Structure formats: C-alpha cells, structure tokens
Amino acid sequence: MSAITMRELTKVYPGGVRALDALDLEIADGEFFALLGPSGCGKTTLLRTIAGLEVASGGSVRIGGRDVTGLPPGKRDVAMVFQDYALFPHMTVRDNIAYPLRIKKVDRRSRGSKAADTADELGLSGLLERRPGQLSGGQQQRVALARAMACHPQVFLLDEPLSNLDARLRLEARTFLKRLQRELGVTTVFVTHDQAEALALADRIAVMEGGRIRQVGTPTEVFRRPANTFVAGFIGSTPMNLIDARVHGDELAVARARLPLPDDARGQVTDGERLVYGIRPEYLDYSPTAVPGALTGDVVVVENLGSVSLVSLDVPTDAADAGEEAGGAGRSSVQVVVSEGGEPEPGDTGWAVPRP
C-alpha cells in the first residue's frame, strides 16, 4: 500500500518564497498522477518535499499510511528521477543502475545481476558497459528510470521526465512510460508543465498555481469541467474562450448573442446573474453566413495548425452584458477551430455557433 497523503503542506524557502501554501492532496495507491502547472508554481518543490529532499515548513506527508514528514530520503522508500537525469558521467550504465543498491549495501554479485535484469526490462541490455556520454537522450532517460526502478521503491517521483527529449522521442517515451507504469503498478507522481502530456498519460491530474492546487480530476474532468478560469485557460491545446455573460431567463446573453443555457447550468444560476461563459474553440462551428443568435464578428487572424485552422473573431459586446467593470467597453476575441477547406480570410464577417 503506497497512497500518498499531504495535509496543509507548506514550504517557505529562506528569503520568504512560499512555494507550497497549505496544500492538501491525496494520491491513490498505484495511481499514475500528474502535477501540472506553469513554471514556478511549486511542482518541483512538492516532489522534493515528498522525497524528503526538502524539509517541510509545516503540514505533513504520509506514504502508505506512515507519517514520513520528519524522515530523511533514504527512509522513505521512494525513488526520484530528475529533469536532467543526474547520471554519473564516469560510471558505466551498469554501475549507474546499481548505484542505489550499493548505497543499500547489497552485495556486489546480486547488484550486478539486479542491474542487468532491470536494464533488460528497459531495453538497455546491449548498453551496460557504455558511459552516459555515449548514449542518446532517450537512452539516458531509460538509464535514469532503471536506476530508480532497481530498488523496487513504493513510489516513483518523476520531474519533467520527458522535457529533455525532442518531439518525436518524447511521444515514443510517453508510450513507453505509460506501459511501464501499468506493468509495475507503482504509485507514480510525475511533474509536467505540458498539459497535453498530462492529459495523455495521467490517471488523474492536479493543476497547480502559486503553491496551491486549483483542481484535481481525471483528464476528462479537467478538460470538460474546469473548476475555474485558471484551469480553463491552462488545459487544452488552444485556450478556452472565456467571455463575460449574463443570464436572461433560460438563455445566456454572451456578447450580442443569445445562447441556450447549458443543461448543467440550469438551476445553478439566477436570472440576471453575471458569469463567465467558457467554450473551447473545438466546440464552436464556424459559419460564413448569418446564424440567428450566434456570436458574430470580423475575422482578424487565421492560423494554420496543420489539419485544422484556428480562426480569431473580433466580437463586439454590449457594455451592459459584457460588464463595464470587466473593462468590457466592447470587444472580445473568440477563437474557433475550422477544418481544412472551410477557412475564411481576414476581414470576412463570420459566425461562431456552439455545437449542441
């Protein structure tokens, strides 16, 4: 059993940076869990505090029901893979993988055979006598993983494990990592600033901002039901459109459009209430001809994304509905994903229609 529970976990660095701010989080046994957030939000600090490489300023960490808050790294039964892999350049692959076993005083012979077994599982058998400098980035990453696995820890902590690989290798390594984690079933916490990576790999994701957790959920939950505008803006290959709106009976006044109130908002809102309407560019259809009630404006930019284009409309809003206090004297940028062949030209007038 190796669930991880953090309660009011706080880390204040000397100098006063509050990197973790009374953070509560539960990671289930065997889960592949992503910590996602922009640079500087505290992801590495959280990982290092779980590992015991940073001492918490307050709160607690439990691993497998055991309070490890005051324990040194070696007593926590966790293994961490660092962003830059931190391999020993003067040691062979075999010695790198066997290193933690040496620290644990495993005898030389079983060290060698355990290192060879782990290397075998990760497809590194032919490389045991090489040094890190003679390996590709992808191979170095596997050696770092092998070194972490060799001790059979209860918990894997991976800090941006794929960020040093080029785009093609990263996709390969992603698939590899996911398969490996499934096979081993070890509780794994991995840090990334790449929302696509988190969505593709994780069982659940915690979205962090400023040392706090803004939402925890499955990839589908954080993508479809972001809990706040921060998560809405951070998740998705194109940011969600967020437009000031007002409830009018069973309709929403969004800019000058009147859209049906989404089913799950019924009963949750009151007539006249102001709110932010969020819709993903993928869930809007573009029309070059007028559609009654739809969002409309002039096409400003058409960006080619490969098989689709991203069209930005400059949508005028009525000050009354946009909310003057939101700086709403009058315009919103609305983005729509348009499939190949249907792209407008800048200067055209277009309509954006939410998919039913």
Residues that bind Mg ion (CB under 5 A): 44
Residue 161 beta carbon to ligand ADP: minimum distance, rounded to whole angstroms: 13
Which of the listed partners (Mg ion, ligand ADP, none) does 15 bind, with a CB threshold of 5 to 8 Å by partner kind?
A: ligand ADP
214 part of the interface to ligand ADP, by CB under 6 A:
no
Cβ neighbours of residue 95 under 8 Å, at least 6 residues apart? 88, 115
In the complex with ligand ADP, the residue whose CB is nearer, 47 or 352, is 47
SS3 342: coil
Q: CA-based diameter of the chain, in Å? A: 77
Position 15 contacts ligand ADP (CB under 6 A): yes
Nearest approach in angstroms of CB 39 to Mg ion is 7
297 binds ligand ADP (CB under 6 A): no
The residues that bridge with 216 in the sheet, in sequence order, are 206
Residue 159 C-beta: closest distance to ligand ADP, Å? 7
User: Is residue 257 a contact point for ligand ADP (CB under 6 A)?
Assistant: no
Distance between CA atoms of 321 and 326, rounded to whole angstroms? 10
Q: How far is the CB of 41 from ligand ADP (least distance, A)?
A: 4
Residue from 30, 40, 73, 293 in contact with ligand ADP (CB under 6 A): 40
Structure tokens at 174: 């992603």
- For the CA atoms of 227, 228, 234, 238, what is the dihedral angle to 10 degrees? 90
Stretch that binds ligand ADP, among 34-42, 182-190, 197-205, 274-282 (CB under 6 A): 34-42
Q: Does 204 bind ligand ADP (CB under 6 A)?
A: no
Which residue has the closest beta carbon to Mg ion? 44
41 binds, among ligand ADP, Mg ion, none (CB under 5 to 8 A by kind): ligand ADP
Distance CA 40, CA 153 (A): 28
Run of H or E including 322: helix 319-322
DSSP 154-219: SEEEEESTTTTS-HHHHHHHHHHHHHHHHHH--EEEEEES-HHHHHHH-SEEEEEETTEEEEEE-H
Answer for the pair 49, 20: CB distance below 8 angstroms, yes or no: yes
120, 127 contact by CB (below 8 A) = no
Q: Which is nearer to ligand ADP, 43 or 111 (CB)?
A: 43
The minimum distance between CB 142 and Mg ion, in angstroms, equals 21
36 touches ligand ADP (CB under 6 A): no
Q: Does 55 bind ligand ADP (CB under 6 A)?
A: no
Q: Tell me: does residue 205 bind ligand ADP (CB under 6 A).
A: no
The minimum distance between CB 203 and ligand ADP, in angstroms, equals 21
Stretch touching ligand ADP by CB under 6 A, among 33-41, 71-79, 128-136, 345-353:
33-41
CB-based contact 248:318 (threshold 8 Å) = no
- To which residue do tokens 């960020």 refer? 163
Shortest separation between residue 157's beta carbon and ligand ADP, angstroms: 12
**Is residue 327 close enough to count as binding ligand ADP by CB under 6 A?**
no
Provide the minimum distance between the beta carbon of 15 and ligand ADP in the complex, in angstroms, as a whole number: 6
**Do 34 and 204 form a contact (C-beta atoms < 8 A)?**
yes
Q: Is 79 exposed, middle or buried (0-12, 13-18, 19+ CB in 10 A)?
A: buried
The residue from 41, 165, 252, 294 that contacts ligand ADP (CB under 6 A) is: 41
Contact by Cβ (8 Å): 87, 115: no
Selected from 13, 103, 129, 268, the binder of ligand ADP by CB under 6 A is: 13
Burial 13-46 (b: 16+ CB within 10 A, else e): eeeeeebbbebebebeebbbbbbbbeeebbbbbb
The CB-of-25 to Mg ion minimum distance in angstroms stands at 17
- Stretch of residues binding ligand ADP (CB under 6 A), selected from 10-18, 139-147, 300-308, 318-326: 10-18
Which residues sit at the interface with ligand ADP, rule CB under 6 A? 13, 15, 17, 19, 37, 39-45
